[in-house]
Structure 1
Protein backbone atom coordinates (compact mmCIF):
# COMPACT_ATOMS: atom_id res chain seq x y z
CA UNK A 1 0.00 0.00 0.00
CA UNK A 2 1.55 3.31 -1.10
CA UNK A 3 1.40 6.69 0.67
CA UNK A 4 -1.63 7.89 -1.34
CA UNK A 5 -3.64 4.79 -0.45
CA UNK A 6 -2.68 5.10 3.23
CA UNK A 7 -3.76 8.76 3.27
CA UNK A 8 -7.03 7.86 1.53
CA UNK A 9 -7.70 5.08 4.04
CA UNK A 10 -7.11 7.47 6.95
CA UNK A 11 -9.51 10.03 5.47
CA UNK A 12 -12.13 7.32 4.95
CA UNK A 13 -11.75 6.11 8.54
CA UNK A 14 -11.98 9.69 9.85
CA UNK A 15 -15.12 10.31 7.79
CA UNK A 16 -16.69 7.08 9.08
CA UNK A 17 -15.90 8.09 12.67
CA UNK A 18 -17.43 11.54 12.21
CA UNK A 19 -20.50 10.03 10.54
CA UNK A 20 -20.91 7.55 13.41
CA UNK A 21 -20.89 10.29 16.05
CA UNK A 22 -23.22 12.50 14.00
CA UNK A 23 -25.72 9.64 13.67
CA UNK A 24 -25.33 8.81 17.37
CA UNK A 25 -25.95 12.43 18.36
CA UNK A 26 -28.99 12.54 16.08
CA UNK A 27 -30.40 9.39 17.70
CA UNK A 28 -29.86 10.84 21.18
CA UNK A 29 -31.62 14.10 20.28
CA UNK A 30 -34.47 12.28 18.51
CA UNK A 31 -34.93 9.89 21.46
CA UNK A 32 -34.84 12.77 23.96
CA UNK A 33 -37.56 14.62 22.05
CA UNK A 34 -39.68 11.48 21.76
CA UNK A 35 -39.29 10.75 25.49
CA UNK A 36 -39.92 14.42 26.34
CA UNK A 37 -36.67 14.37 28.33
CA UNK A 38 -35.43 17.68 29.65
CA UNK A 39 -32.40 18.48 31.79
CA UNK A 40 -34.29 21.51 33.08
CA UNK A 41 -37.10 19.34 34.41
CA UNK A 42 -34.56 16.86 35.77
CA UNK A 43 -32.66 19.45 37.79
CA UNK A 44 -35.76 21.35 38.87
CA UNK A 45 -37.07 18.19 40.54
CA UNK A 46 -33.90 17.45 42.51
CA UNK A 47 -34.93 19.60 45.46
CA UNK A 48 -38.37 17.98 45.72
CA UNK A 49 -36.83 14.51 45.37
CA UNK A 50 -34.34 15.30 48.13
CA UNK A 51 -37.14 16.52 50.41
CA UNK A 52 -39.25 13.41 49.73
CA UNK A 53 -36.43 10.92 50.32
CA UNK A 54 -34.91 12.47 53.44
CA UNK A 55 -38.02 13.90 55.13
CA UNK A 56 -40.95 11.71 53.99
CA UNK A 57 -39.43 8.36 53.01
CA UNK A 58 -36.67 8.21 55.63
CA UNK A 59 -36.05 7.12 58.33
CA UNK A 60 -37.60 3.64 58.11
CA UNK A 61 -40.35 2.84 60.57
CA UNK A 62 -38.81 -0.08 62.48
CA UNK A 63 -42.00 -0.56 64.48
CA UNK A 64 -43.61 -1.97 61.32
CA UNK A 65 -41.00 -4.73 61.00
CA UNK A 66 -43.22 -7.32 62.69
CA UNK A 67 -45.87 -6.77 59.98
CA UNK A 68 -43.30 -7.46 57.26
CA UNK A 69 -41.89 -10.78 58.49
CA UNK A 70 -44.66 -12.92 56.98
CA UNK A 71 -44.56 -11.16 53.55
CA UNK A 72 -40.76 -11.45 53.59
CA UNK A 73 -40.99 -15.20 54.22
CA UNK A 74 -43.61 -15.42 51.47
CA UNK A 75 -41.16 -13.73 49.10
CA UNK A 76 -38.52 -16.34 49.94
CA UNK A 77 -41.03 -19.20 49.59
CA UNK A 78 -42.03 -17.94 46.13
CA UNK A 79 -38.39 -17.69 45.06
CA UNK A 80 -37.47 -21.16 46.33
CA UNK A 81 -40.50 -22.88 44.78
CA UNK A 82 -39.93 -21.11 41.45
CA UNK A 83 -36.24 -22.06 41.50
CA UNK A 84 -36.88 -25.73 42.30
CA UNK A 85 -39.74 -26.27 39.85
CA UNK A 86 -38.13 -24.10 37.18
CA UNK A 87 -34.73 -25.80 37.42
CA UNK A 88 -36.21 -29.32 37.33
CA UNK A 89 -38.36 -28.59 34.27
CA UNK A 90 -35.58 -26.62 32.57
CA UNK A 91 -33.11 -29.40 33.34
CA UNK A 92 -35.25 -31.92 31.47
CA UNK A 93 -35.96 -29.54 28.58
CA UNK A 94 -32.29 -28.60 28.23
CA UNK A 95 -31.40 -32.15 27.16
CA UNK A 96 -33.83 -31.69 24.28
CA UNK A 97 -32.61 -28.15 23.53
CA UNK A 98 -28.85 -28.82 23.44
CA UNK A 99 -27.23 -29.83 20.16
CA UNK A 100 -25.07 -32.41 21.94
CA UNK A 101 -27.96 -34.29 23.59
CA UNK A 102 -31.13 -33.61 21.59
CA UNK A 103 -32.48 -36.73 19.84
CA UNK A 104 -33.62 -34.70 16.80
CA UNK A 105 -32.78 -31.23 15.38
CA UNK A 106 -36.45 -30.30 14.94
CA UNK A 107 -37.14 -31.14 18.58
CA UNK A 108 -34.20 -28.97 19.57
CA UNK A 109 -35.56 -26.01 17.57
CA UNK A 110 -39.07 -26.46 18.96
CA UNK A 111 -37.95 -26.56 22.60
CA UNK A 112 -35.67 -23.55 22.16
CA UNK A 113 -38.47 -21.56 20.50
CA UNK A 114 -40.99 -22.40 23.23
CA UNK A 115 -38.67 -21.56 26.11
CA UNK A 116 -37.54 -18.39 24.33
CA UNK A 117 -41.15 -17.21 24.57
CA UNK A 118 -41.08 -17.67 28.36
CA UNK A 119 -37.75 -15.88 28.62
CA UNK A 120 -38.38 -12.89 26.37
CA UNK A 121 -41.75 -11.84 27.80
CA UNK A 122 -40.87 -9.78 30.92
CA UNK A 123 -41.90 -11.18 34.29
CA UNK A 124 -44.02 -8.07 34.89
CA UNK A 125 -46.12 -8.85 31.80
CA UNK A 126 -46.51 -12.49 32.82
CA UNK A 127 -47.72 -11.39 36.25
CA UNK A 128 -50.26 -8.92 34.85
CA UNK A 129 -51.63 -11.58 32.50
CA UNK A 130 -51.84 -14.20 35.25
CA UNK A 131 -53.43 -11.75 37.70
CA UNK A 132 -56.10 -11.03 35.09
CA UNK A 133 -56.69 -14.77 34.67
CA UNK A 134 -56.39 -16.06 38.25
CA UNK A 135 -56.61 -13.02 40.54
CA UNK A 136 -54.20 -11.61 43.12
CA UNK A 137 -51.95 -13.70 45.31
CA UNK A 138 -48.61 -15.39 45.85
CA UNK A 139 -49.59 -18.33 43.63
CA UNK A 140 -49.74 -16.01 40.62
CA UNK A 141 -46.39 -14.48 41.54
CA UNK A 142 -44.85 -17.93 41.88
CA UNK A 143 -46.24 -19.00 38.49
CA UNK A 144 -44.69 -15.92 36.85
CA UNK A 145 -41.31 -16.65 38.40
CA UNK A 146 -41.53 -20.30 37.31
CA UNK A 147 -42.16 -19.32 33.68
CA UNK A 148 -39.23 -16.90 33.63
CA UNK A 149 -37.01 -19.45 35.40
CA UNK A 150 -37.83 -22.13 32.83
CA UNK A 151 -37.00 -19.78 29.97
CA UNK A 152 -33.71 -18.57 31.43
CA UNK A 153 -32.47 -21.87 32.81
CA UNK A 154 -33.29 -23.98 29.74
CA UNK A 155 -31.03 -21.78 27.64
CA UNK A 156 -28.29 -21.69 30.30
CA UNK A 157 -28.41 -25.44 30.91
CA UNK A 158 -28.37 -26.13 27.16
CA UNK A 159 -25.22 -24.02 26.82
CA UNK A 160 -23.62 -26.02 29.64
CA UNK A 161 -24.49 -29.27 27.84
CA UNK A 162 -23.03 -27.97 24.58
CA UNK A 163 -19.70 -27.26 26.30
CA UNK A 164 -19.17 -30.72 27.83
CA UNK A 165 -16.17 -32.89 26.93
CA UNK A 166 -17.41 -34.99 24.01
CA UNK A 167 -14.49 -37.40 24.47
CA UNK A 168 -16.25 -39.01 27.42
CA UNK A 169 -19.48 -39.21 25.44
CA UNK A 170 -17.76 -40.91 22.51
CA UNK A 171 -16.03 -43.35 24.86
CA UNK A 172 -19.36 -44.54 26.31
CA UNK A 173 -20.86 -44.75 22.82
CA UNK A 174 -17.89 -46.76 21.59
CA UNK A 175 -18.45 -49.20 24.44
CA UNK A 176 -21.97 -49.81 23.12
CA UNK A 177 -23.82 -47.55 25.57
CA UNK A 178 -27.42 -46.59 24.82
CA UNK A 179 -28.66 -42.99 24.65
CA UNK A 180 -29.68 -43.02 28.32
CA UNK A 181 -26.43 -44.71 29.38
CA UNK A 182 -24.49 -41.97 27.59
CA UNK A 183 -26.51 -39.34 29.46
CA UNK A 184 -26.15 -40.95 32.88
CA UNK A 185 -22.46 -41.92 32.63
CA UNK A 186 -20.89 -39.20 30.48
CA UNK A 187 -23.21 -36.19 30.33
CA UNK A 188 -24.89 -35.80 33.73
CA UNK A 189 -21.66 -35.86 35.81
CA UNK A 190 -20.31 -32.98 33.71
CA UNK A 191 -23.67 -31.20 33.75
CA UNK A 192 -24.30 -31.17 37.52
CA UNK A 193 -21.90 -28.35 38.54
CA UNK A 194 -23.42 -26.02 35.93
CA UNK A 195 -26.92 -27.12 36.95
CA UNK A 196 -26.28 -26.20 40.58
CA UNK A 197 -24.51 -22.94 39.78
CA UNK A 198 -27.20 -21.64 37.42
CA UNK A 199 -30.01 -22.76 39.75
CA UNK A 200 -28.52 -20.78 42.63
CA UNK A 201 -28.07 -17.76 40.38
CA UNK A 202 -31.70 -18.10 39.33
CA UNK A 203 -32.70 -18.09 43.01
CA UNK A 204 -30.96 -14.71 43.42
CA UNK A 205 -32.82 -13.34 40.39
CA UNK A 206 -36.13 -14.67 41.70
CA UNK A 207 -35.67 -12.93 45.06
CA UNK A 208 -35.12 -9.61 43.28
CA UNK A 209 -37.90 -10.15 40.74
CA UNK A 210 -40.42 -11.23 43.38
CA UNK A 211 -40.58 -7.66 44.67
CA UNK A 212 -41.55 -6.34 41.24
CA UNK A 213 -43.98 -9.22 40.78
CA UNK A 214 -45.58 -8.45 44.12
CA UNK A 215 -46.14 -4.79 43.24
CA UNK A 216 -48.60 -5.78 40.50
CA UNK A 217 -50.47 -8.31 42.61
CA UNK A 218 -48.12 -11.27 42.96
CA UNK A 219 -47.90 -11.29 46.76
CA UNK A 220 -44.90 -11.03 49.07
CA UNK A 221 -43.05 -7.89 50.11
CA UNK A 222 -43.71 -6.18 46.79
CA UNK A 223 -47.46 -6.25 47.39
CA UNK A 224 -47.02 -4.73 50.87
CA UNK A 225 -44.65 -2.10 49.48
CA UNK A 226 -47.17 -1.06 46.85
CA UNK A 227 -49.96 -0.94 49.45
CA UNK A 228 -47.90 1.29 51.77
CA UNK A 229 -47.06 3.67 48.93
CA UNK A 230 -50.71 3.96 47.92
CA UNK A 231 -51.65 4.78 51.53
CA UNK A 232 -48.84 7.39 51.73
CA UNK A 233 -47.22 5.40 54.55
CA UNK A 234 -43.79 6.20 53.21
CA UNK A 235 -41.70 5.35 56.26
CA UNK A 236 -43.29 1.91 56.47
CA UNK A 237 -42.60 1.53 52.73
CA UNK A 238 -39.01 2.53 53.46
CA UNK A 239 -38.80 -0.29 56.00
CA UNK A 240 -40.06 -2.73 53.36
CA UNK A 241 -37.40 -1.52 50.90
CA UNK A 242 -34.70 -1.91 53.56
CA UNK A 243 -35.88 -5.44 54.30
CA UNK A 244 -35.79 -6.32 50.59
CA UNK A 245 -32.21 -5.03 50.42
CA UNK A 246 -31.16 -7.08 53.46
CA UNK A 247 -32.77 -10.25 52.08
CA UNK A 248 -31.13 -9.81 48.67
CA UNK A 249 -27.68 -9.26 50.22
CA UNK A 250 -28.01 -12.28 52.54
CA UNK A 251 -29.23 -14.54 49.74
CA UNK A 252 -26.40 -13.39 47.47
CA UNK A 253 -23.81 -14.03 50.18
CA UNK A 254 -25.16 -17.52 50.93
CA UNK A 255 -25.44 -18.59 47.28
CA UNK A 256 -21.92 -17.33 46.55
CA UNK A 257 -20.55 -19.40 49.44
CA UNK A 258 -22.46 -22.49 48.29
CA UNK A 259 -21.22 -22.09 44.71
CA UNK A 260 -17.62 -21.77 45.92
CA UNK A 261 -17.91 -25.00 47.93
CA UNK A 262 -19.80 -27.12 45.39
CA UNK A 263 -18.54 -26.00 41.99
Structure 2
Protein backbone atom coordinates (compact mmCIF):
# COMPACT_ATOMS: atom_id res chain seq x y z
CA UNK A 1 0.00 0.00 0.00
CA UNK A 2 1.44 3.30 -1.05
CA UNK A 3 1.62 6.32 1.26
CA UNK A 4 -0.65 9.01 -0.19
CA UNK A 5 0.11 11.67 2.49
CA UNK A 6 1.63 14.85 1.07
CA UNK A 7 5.29 15.28 1.74
CA UNK A 8 6.31 18.42 3.62
CA UNK A 9 9.55 20.01 2.59
CA UNK A 10 11.78 21.44 5.29
CA UNK A 11 12.14 25.19 5.09
CA UNK A 12 15.59 26.64 5.67
CA UNK A 13 16.18 27.91 9.22
CA UNK A 14 16.16 31.75 9.23
CA UNK A 15 19.29 33.46 10.56
CA UNK A 16 19.43 34.41 14.21
CA UNK A 17 18.10 37.93 13.98
CA UNK A 18 18.31 38.51 17.72
CA UNK A 19 22.04 38.03 17.74
CA UNK A 20 22.43 40.33 14.77
CA UNK A 21 20.30 43.02 16.42
CA UNK A 22 22.32 42.69 19.64
CA UNK A 23 25.59 43.08 17.75
CA UNK A 24 24.32 46.14 15.89
CA UNK A 25 22.97 47.67 19.09
CA UNK A 26 26.29 47.04 20.83
CA UNK A 27 28.16 48.77 18.01
CA UNK A 28 25.74 51.71 18.07
CA UNK A 29 26.43 52.15 21.80
CA UNK A 30 30.16 51.37 21.73
CA UNK A 31 31.21 53.56 18.81
CA UNK A 32 30.06 56.89 20.33
CA UNK A 33 31.57 55.95 23.70
CA UNK A 34 34.93 55.10 22.14
CA UNK A 35 34.81 58.26 20.02
CA UNK A 36 34.06 60.36 23.12
CA UNK A 37 37.05 58.87 24.93
CA UNK A 38 39.31 59.55 21.96
CA UNK A 39 38.20 63.18 21.87
CA UNK A 40 38.67 63.45 25.65
CA UNK A 41 42.17 61.94 25.35
CA UNK A 42 43.12 64.53 22.73
CA UNK A 43 41.51 67.52 24.46
CA UNK A 44 43.12 66.75 27.83
CA UNK A 45 46.54 66.15 26.23
CA UNK A 46 46.76 62.87 28.10
CA UNK A 47 50.37 61.68 27.82
CA UNK A 48 51.90 59.00 30.04
CA UNK A 49 55.39 59.71 28.72
CA UNK A 50 55.09 63.27 30.02
CA UNK A 51 54.19 61.89 33.44
CA UNK A 52 57.22 59.60 33.32
CA UNK A 53 59.48 62.57 32.54
CA UNK A 54 58.04 64.44 35.51
CA UNK A 55 58.64 61.69 38.07
CA UNK A 56 62.00 63.19 38.98
CA UNK A 57 60.38 66.50 39.93
CA UNK A 58 57.73 64.66 41.96
CA UNK A 59 60.46 62.77 43.81
CA UNK A 60 62.19 66.05 44.69
CA UNK A 61 58.88 67.51 45.89
CA UNK A 62 58.21 64.52 48.15
CA UNK A 63 61.80 64.62 49.38
CA UNK A 64 61.36 68.24 50.46
CA UNK A 65 58.12 67.36 52.29
CA UNK A 66 59.48 64.37 54.25
CA UNK A 67 59.73 64.32 57.22
CA UNK A 68 56.69 66.46 58.14
CA UNK A 69 57.13 69.45 60.40
CA UNK A 70 55.65 68.41 63.75
CA UNK A 71 56.61 71.54 65.64
CA UNK A 72 54.11 72.81 68.18
CA UNK A 73 53.19 75.96 66.26
CA UNK A 74 52.47 74.04 63.05
CA UNK A 75 50.38 71.38 64.81
CA UNK A 76 48.39 74.01 66.72
CA UNK A 77 47.69 75.95 63.53
CA UNK A 78 46.61 72.73 61.82
CA UNK A 79 44.24 71.82 64.66
CA UNK A 80 42.74 75.30 64.59
CA UNK A 81 42.30 75.00 60.82
CA UNK A 82 40.53 71.64 61.19
CA UNK A 83 38.12 73.16 63.72
CA UNK A 84 37.37 76.05 61.36
CA UNK A 85 36.88 73.63 58.46
CA UNK A 86 34.42 71.58 60.50
CA UNK A 87 32.60 74.78 61.52
CA UNK A 88 32.29 75.89 57.88
CA UNK A 89 30.78 72.56 56.86
CA UNK A 90 28.46 72.48 59.88
CA UNK A 91 27.07 76.02 59.53
CA UNK A 92 26.84 75.77 55.74
CA UNK A 93 24.81 72.58 56.03
CA UNK A 94 22.57 73.78 58.86
CA UNK A 95 21.74 77.19 57.41
CA UNK A 96 20.87 75.66 54.04
CA UNK A 97 18.16 73.44 55.56
CA UNK A 98 15.24 75.95 55.49
CA UNK A 99 16.00 77.05 51.92
CA UNK A 100 16.40 73.44 50.79
CA UNK A 101 13.16 72.43 52.48
CA UNK A 102 11.21 75.26 50.84
CA UNK A 103 12.60 74.48 47.38
CA UNK A 104 11.95 70.77 47.91
CA UNK A 105 8.28 71.42 48.68
CA UNK A 106 7.89 73.70 45.69
CA UNK A 107 9.85 71.38 43.40
CA UNK A 108 8.07 68.11 44.19
CA UNK A 109 4.97 67.03 42.26
CA UNK A 110 3.63 65.45 45.43
CA UNK A 111 3.20 68.80 47.15
CA UNK A 112 3.03 71.27 44.24
CA UNK A 113 0.37 71.06 41.54
CA UNK A 114 1.09 74.39 39.81
CA UNK A 115 3.37 73.63 36.83
CA UNK A 116 4.86 77.13 36.78
CA UNK A 117 5.85 77.01 40.45
CA UNK A 118 7.26 73.52 40.00
CA UNK A 119 9.40 74.53 36.99
CA UNK A 120 10.65 77.71 38.68
CA UNK A 121 11.69 75.77 41.78
CA UNK A 122 13.48 73.22 39.62
CA UNK A 123 15.27 76.00 37.75
CA UNK A 124 16.50 77.55 41.00
CA UNK A 125 17.74 74.14 42.15
CA UNK A 126 19.58 73.63 38.88
CA UNK A 127 21.23 77.04 39.13
CA UNK A 128 22.58 76.48 42.64
CA UNK A 129 23.75 72.98 41.72
CA UNK A 130 25.35 74.06 38.45
CA UNK A 131 27.53 76.75 40.01
CA UNK A 132 30.38 75.03 41.92
CA UNK A 133 30.85 75.94 45.55
CA UNK A 134 34.37 77.19 44.80
CA UNK A 135 32.90 79.76 42.38
CA UNK A 136 30.47 80.90 45.07
CA UNK A 137 33.44 81.19 47.43
CA UNK A 138 35.33 83.41 45.00
CA UNK A 139 32.26 85.63 44.65
CA UNK A 140 31.72 85.93 48.41
CA UNK A 141 35.42 86.53 49.08
CA UNK A 142 35.15 89.66 46.95
CA UNK A 143 32.01 90.67 48.89
CA UNK A 144 32.91 89.93 52.53
CA UNK A 145 36.69 89.49 52.30
CA UNK A 146 38.95 86.55 53.07
CA UNK A 147 37.90 84.22 55.84
CA UNK A 148 35.57 81.38 56.77
CA UNK A 149 32.41 83.49 56.47
CA UNK A 150 32.77 83.42 52.68
CA UNK A 151 33.11 79.64 52.86
CA UNK A 152 29.93 79.30 54.90
CA UNK A 153 27.98 81.39 52.39
CA UNK A 154 29.36 79.34 49.50
CA UNK A 155 28.36 76.05 51.14
CA UNK A 156 24.87 77.41 51.87
CA UNK A 157 24.27 78.33 48.23
CA UNK A 158 25.57 75.17 46.63
CA UNK A 159 24.18 72.78 49.24
CA UNK A 160 20.73 74.37 48.97
CA UNK A 161 20.46 73.31 45.33
CA UNK A 162 21.84 69.80 45.86
CA UNK A 163 19.89 68.98 48.99
CA UNK A 164 16.64 70.45 47.64
CA UNK A 165 16.89 68.17 44.61
CA UNK A 166 17.60 65.09 46.74
CA UNK A 167 14.77 65.88 49.14
CA UNK A 168 12.26 66.69 46.38
CA UNK A 169 12.96 63.39 44.64
CA UNK A 170 12.52 61.58 47.96
CA UNK A 171 9.16 63.31 48.45
CA UNK A 172 8.02 62.28 44.98
CA UNK A 173 8.60 58.63 45.92
CA UNK A 174 5.90 58.75 48.61
CA UNK A 175 3.02 56.34 47.96
CA UNK A 176 0.37 58.26 45.93
CA UNK A 177 -2.35 56.26 47.66
CA UNK A 178 -1.64 58.13 50.88
CA UNK A 179 -1.72 61.53 49.18
CA UNK A 180 -4.76 61.28 46.89
CA UNK A 181 -7.44 61.06 49.64
CA UNK A 182 -6.25 64.33 51.19
CA UNK A 183 -5.94 65.98 47.78
CA UNK A 184 -9.46 64.84 46.87
CA UNK A 185 -10.74 66.27 50.14
CA UNK A 186 -9.31 69.66 49.15
CA UNK A 187 -6.17 69.70 51.32
CA UNK A 188 -3.51 72.22 50.37
CA UNK A 189 0.05 71.33 49.47
CA UNK A 190 1.33 72.41 52.90
CA UNK A 191 -1.27 70.25 54.65
CA UNK A 192 -0.34 67.24 52.52
CA UNK A 193 3.32 67.85 53.26
CA UNK A 194 2.77 68.21 57.01
CA UNK A 195 0.42 65.25 57.52
CA UNK A 196 1.59 62.69 54.94
CA UNK A 197 4.82 63.49 53.14
CA UNK A 198 7.08 64.67 55.96
CA UNK A 199 6.26 61.85 58.41
CA UNK A 200 7.01 59.35 55.64
CA UNK A 201 10.39 60.74 54.59
CA UNK A 202 11.99 62.01 57.81
CA UNK A 203 14.49 59.09 58.06
CA UNK A 204 15.55 59.56 54.42
CA UNK A 205 15.80 63.32 54.94
CA UNK A 206 18.12 62.90 57.93
CA UNK A 207 20.26 60.33 56.12
CA UNK A 208 20.69 62.61 53.11
CA UNK A 209 21.44 65.54 55.41
CA UNK A 210 24.25 63.62 57.12
CA UNK A 211 25.62 62.58 53.74
CA UNK A 212 25.66 66.20 52.58
CA UNK A 213 27.35 67.28 55.83
CA UNK A 214 30.12 64.79 55.10
CA UNK A 215 30.50 66.15 51.56
CA UNK A 216 30.39 69.78 52.71
CA UNK A 217 33.20 69.25 55.20
CA UNK A 218 35.33 67.91 52.35
CA UNK A 219 34.31 70.84 50.15
CA UNK A 220 35.29 73.35 52.83
CA UNK A 221 38.84 72.00 52.61
CA UNK A 222 39.00 73.04 48.96
CA UNK A 223 37.34 76.39 49.65
CA UNK A 224 40.21 77.25 51.95
CA UNK A 225 42.52 77.20 48.93
CA UNK A 226 40.76 80.31 47.55
CA UNK A 227 40.87 82.22 50.82
CA UNK A 228 37.76 80.91 52.57
CA UNK A 229 39.62 79.89 55.72
CA UNK A 230 40.16 76.52 57.36
CA UNK A 231 42.93 74.00 56.97
CA UNK A 232 42.85 74.43 53.20
CA UNK A 233 44.03 78.02 53.61
CA UNK A 234 46.99 76.81 55.69
CA UNK A 235 47.89 74.24 53.02
CA UNK A 236 47.77 76.91 50.36
CA UNK A 237 49.98 79.23 52.41
CA UNK A 238 52.59 76.55 53.07
CA UNK A 239 52.77 75.70 49.36
CA UNK A 240 53.12 79.37 48.42
CA UNK A 241 56.01 79.75 50.89
CA UNK A 242 57.64 76.47 49.72
CA UNK A 243 57.30 74.99 53.21
CA UNK A 244 56.45 71.54 51.98
CA UNK A 245 57.15 69.87 55.33
CA UNK A 246 54.40 72.02 56.87
CA UNK A 247 52.15 71.14 53.94
CA UNK A 248 52.64 67.42 54.61
CA UNK A 249 51.77 67.92 58.27
CA UNK A 250 48.51 69.63 57.34
CA UNK A 251 47.68 66.93 54.78
CA UNK A 252 48.22 64.17 57.35
CA UNK A 253 45.98 66.05 59.79
CA UNK A 254 43.34 66.38 57.07
CA UNK A 255 43.51 62.62 56.50
CA UNK A 256 42.87 61.88 60.18
CA UNK A 257 40.18 64.56 60.31
CA UNK A 258 38.29 63.19 57.29
CA UNK A 259 38.46 59.62 58.59
CA UNK A 260 37.02 60.78 61.94
CA UNK A 261 34.15 62.63 60.21
CA UNK A 262 33.45 59.57 58.01
CA UNK A 263 33.31 57.26 61.01
CA UNK A 264 31.06 59.61 62.99
CA UNK A 265 28.58 60.16 60.16
CA UNK A 266 28.61 56.43 59.36
CA UNK A 267 27.73 55.54 62.95
CA UNK A 268 24.86 58.04 63.01
CA UNK A 269 23.48 56.83 59.65
CA UNK A 270 23.71 53.22 60.82
CA UNK A 271 21.75 53.99 63.97
CA UNK A 272 19.10 55.83 61.97
CA UNK A 273 18.76 52.89 59.58
CA UNK A 274 17.85 50.53 62.42
CA UNK A 275 14.13 49.74 62.64
Higher mean C-alpha deviation, range 123-132 or range 227-236:
123-132
Superposition deviation, residue 130 in structure 1: 2.3
Aligned partner of 1:254 in structure 2 is 264
Superposition deviation, residue 225 in structure 1: 0.7
- Which of 48, 52, 61 pairs up with 1:39? 48
Q: Give me the CA root mean square deviation.
A: 2.5
Rg larger in structure:
2
1:73-84 equivalences under 5 Å are: 73-84=83-94
Distance of 1:15 and 1:174 partners within structure 2: 50
Q: Is the 8 A contact 1:172 1:185 kept in 2?
A: no
1:7-86 equivalences under 5 Å are: 14=23, 27-53=36-62, 55-63=63-71, 64-86=74-96
Q: What CA deviation, in whole Å up to 9, does each residue of 1:76-105 have, x standing for no partner?
A: 111011111112210122011100001412
1:100-139 equivalences under 5 Å are: 100-139=110-149
Distance of 1:132 and 1:3 partners within structure 2: 75
Q: Output the TM-score relative to the length of structure 1.
A: 0.88
Matched, 1:217 2:227: yes
Superposition deviation, residue 28 in structure 1: 4.0
Q: What CA deviation, in whole Å up to 9, does each residue of 1:138-172 have, x standing for no partner?
A: 11111111111101000000011001123333344
Q: Which runs of 5+ in 2 are unaligned?
A: 1-11
Distance of 1:248 and 1:156 partners within structure 2: 23
Superposition deviation, residue 26 in structure 1: 5.0
Tell me which protein shows more helix as a share of its residues.
Answer: 1
Distance of 2:180 and 2:34 partners within structure 1: 54
Distance of 2:220 and 2:136 partners within structure 1: 12
Aligned partner of 2:164 in structure 1 is 154
Aligned partner of 1:198 in structure 2 is 208
